[in-house]
Structure formats: structure tokens, C-alpha cells
Amino acid sequence: MLDKEIESLIEKELERQNSGIELIASENYPSKEVMKAQGSILTAKYAEGYPGKRYYGGCEIVDQVEGLAISRAKEVFGAEYANVQPHSGSQANFAAYRALLPGGGRILSLDLNDGGHLTHGSPVSFSSHLYSFSHYALGNDGRLAYDSIRKAIDENKPDLLLAGFSAYPFEIDFAKLKEICDEQGAKTGKPLLFMVDMAHIAGLVAAREHMSPLPYADVVTSTTHKTLRGPRGGLILSRRLDLARKLDSAVFPYSQGGPLEHVIAAKAVCFLEAMQPSFREYIKKVKENTLAACLTLKRLGAKTSGTENHLFLLNVLASYRLDGKEAQNLLESIGITTNKNMIHGDSLPPSRCSGLRIGFAAATTRGCTAENAVEIATVIDRALKGGGLAPLKEKVKSIVAGWKDISDL
Ligand SMILES: *Cc1c(COP(=O)(O)O)cnc(C)c1O
């Protein structure tokens, strides 16, 4: 190998990932087959356009690759339309807004600090510069408060209601949100569009372990690399074929050039994997492990959000008198990776936060059992209570020793 530096850094990162417990809720490990497709020669092909309508010659094979990815995406999620070209979840959102709204269009979403995403109207994201955002608040219990969403719609008169979040531990009732949009449409005579960004829960939706937004939303966006276990990338779905042309042109040529056909091939592989019965078993285990860890922490006296999906929030300020950053660093020192996160009604700034976001999608991929999840929660509790770190580090090592190697999934 010519490039020893990068080779060695990749080896070091593999070793880091293999030796620790990954609890960042947005991360996961793809299968060998996904990795192989993503590392393939398809990366060498320019294919601007869409299958059958390319700007370049030589696209017969990549047309079939992208065609398979599209038809599998539609099958997994029950969609009429799929666009597999967005390079990331943020790119998918950029294109979806463009297709649905004029510049300055009004979007009602959940604030980033309450569990939304940067692209849902944060001042530092393109979204707030191109569209006019207002936000709905969560209830005191940290759950969606459907009545206050109704009120926020009345007050802010949005053109589009956006749901789907980055740090929300409960089920989302998409049917109810669609009903609220329809009520508003009937009242004002102007339809209220409904968009869902299911980036975090796509794997749960694919496995029928969360209500699907497809029957209710006008457009659904997603990532493919979180609970879905695919390559890093984005996805747009819809049951509305009348939006197909607008969505397609909002991705290419409006916001992207040549599609990443190697990544699209890897997406096709992950969609096929998500259709296997074993994937549903996997997602069920993710939920069981998340719940087991959350309940254990609660039993030990910690303040948690509770969970109905693949993640929960741990209030480390209330439970251990640490801020999120301190707690994240402490756990990292014993080989457990998490991320600091704002807690509903947080008193600390985003640079510190009062909480940690904890998820079990990645650990479960490596073979984490419910028993391990209880052990991990106990280790977290001891570490944050100020217990001696050396034995806890050893305990982390012994748990991980029973798991699969990441290059072998
Ligand atoms: C992760 C995430 C995204 C963005 O994904 P990127 O691929 O990092 O751009 C968008 N929306 C939500 C809700 C997410 O959680």
C-alpha cells in the first residue's frame, strides 16, 4: 500500500470500534455485503440523471443497480415513489423542502433542542435561511403534545408540518398528525402538507416495529445508515406519484450532480437485508436491549426518559450532578461511547447539556444481549456515581470480548 498513513488510521479506527461499546443512537455497523458493494468499482461511473434518462453513455448496468435499489426501497416501505440518490439525510431534506414549498415557505417543526434535527430550522442550517420555521413544543412529560401542535398550527399557519426526530424516545402517532393536518386543511380550505423525516427509526419502520409514516405523509425522508444498517446516505419516499417529477428534479439537477452508484448499490443490499425475517428479530432485540438498559438505570435511581424505540435520554445532571459533556467524557474513558444531549426543558447550554442520548442499535448488531444491556447500564451507573474506573474498564472489555468482530458482520 502506498498510503501507509491512511491504512494505519483505518486500522486504528477499526480497533477503536472493535474494543469499545458504541451507544451513539444514530450509529450502526453495516454488513460485509453492504461494505463490499460500497467499496466497489461502481464508484468510477458517472450517471447524472435517472435510470433510462442519463446524461452519459455506459449506464446500462448502473441503471439496473439503481432500479433494484428503487424497487426494493418501495417494497420495504410500501412506497409508490423512491429516490435513492440523496448523498445524506440532510440532502434528502434539502430536496424534499424544495419540491414541496416555494422559497420562504412556512414549516412547523420540533426545535433542535427538543430533539429535532439541524435541518429542521436551526439558525446554523440552510433550512432556516431558505424557509420560515416555527416550532411546536413537547409536553411536560417530554412527549409530543398533539393539542399544542394543533394550537401551534393555528398560531403560525404553516404550509408544512414536519415530524420525525433525532432524540425522541417514544412512538410517533403519524395517523394522528395526519388527522391534525386534514382538520386544518378543512378549516382553512388550503391543504397542510405533512412531511416525516424518519432518519432514526427507518429500521424500526422497515421491520414493522414502528407505525409507518408512508400511508400518512406527503413525503418521507430518511437516512440509510442508522437503525436501517445500510451505507451512509439519504432516501426520499412518497406514496404520491404526482410529486415524483418535482422530487426527482429537486435532487438532480437542483442540489446534486452525479449519483454515488456504489453507495446506491449498498443501499439496495441493505433494503434486501431489511426484508429478511432476521432483520425483524434484530430490531426487536434492539428495542428489548434499549428497554432493559433504561429500566436498569431507573431501578438504580437514575432519571431517564423511558423508551419505546431504540434510544432513551439519561438526565445525568439530575441523576449524578454531572453535565452531559462530563458524563460523555467519563464514559469514553472506560470504552463506552455516547453523546451529550439536551433534555426537555434543559437548564444548561447545548455545549454542556444535562443529558446523554443512549441507543442500542450498534451494540445489538455486534451481539449485545439483554443481559449485557443490564450489565452495561450498571457499569454506566457506577462510573457516573464516581466508582473506580479501572475495574469498570475491565468489565467493558469482558463484555465486548463476547461480541462479533465488526469486520465480520
Ligand atoms: C441523522 C438525521 C438527519 C441527517 O442525516 P445526515 O446523513 O447526517 O445528513 C436528518 N434528520 C434526522 C431526524 C436525523 O436524525
CA of 196 to the centre of ligand 1 (A): 12
Task: Give 17-72 as a DSSP string.
Answer: HHHSEE--TT-----HHHHHHHTSGGGG----EETTEESSS--HHHHHHHHHHHHH
Residues with CB under 6 A from ligand 1: 26, 88-90, 117, 119, 164-166, 197, 199-200, 223, 234
Q: Which atom of ligand 1 is nearest to the CA of 164?
A: 13
Among 119, 263, 342, the mutation site with the greatest number of ligand 1 atoms within 8 A of its Cβ is 119
CA of 199 to the centre of ligand 1 (A): 6
Catalytic residues: 46, 48, 197, 223, 226, 232
- Cell numbers representing residue 44 in the block: 468510477
In the reported structure, the alpha carbon of residue 223 is separated from the centroid of ligand 1 by a whole-number distance in angstroms of 6
Amino acid at 252: F
200 CA: nearest ligand 1 atom: 15
Q: Block means of pLDDT (10 residues each) for the chain, length 409 residues? A: 95 96 98 98 98 97 98 98 98 98 97 90 96 95 95 97 97 98 95 98 98 98 98 98 98 98 98 98 98 98 98 98 97 97 92 97 98 98 96 97 95
| Nearest ligand 1 atom to alpha carbon 165 | 13
DSSP string spanning 254-280? TT-SS--HHHHHHHHHHHHHHTSHHHH
What CA–CA distance (Å, rounded) separates 224 from 222? Answer: 7
C-alpha cell at 299: 431501578
What pTM value is reported for the model?
0.97
Largest CA distance in the chain: 66
DSSP secondary structure code for residue 404 in this structure: P
pLDDT reported for residue 345? 87
Residue 113, pLDDT score: 84
Residue 248 CA to ligand 1 centre (angstroms): 20
Strands 106-110 and 193-197: unpaired
Q: d(Cα 273, Cα 278) in Å, to the nearest integer?
A: 8
* Neighbouring residues of 246: CB distance < 8 A, sequence distance ≥ 6: 99, 100
Residue from 120, 195, 197, 227 to probe ligand 1 pocket by mutation (most atoms less than 8 Å from CB): 197
Q: Which atom of ligand 1 is nearest to the CA of 93?
A: 10
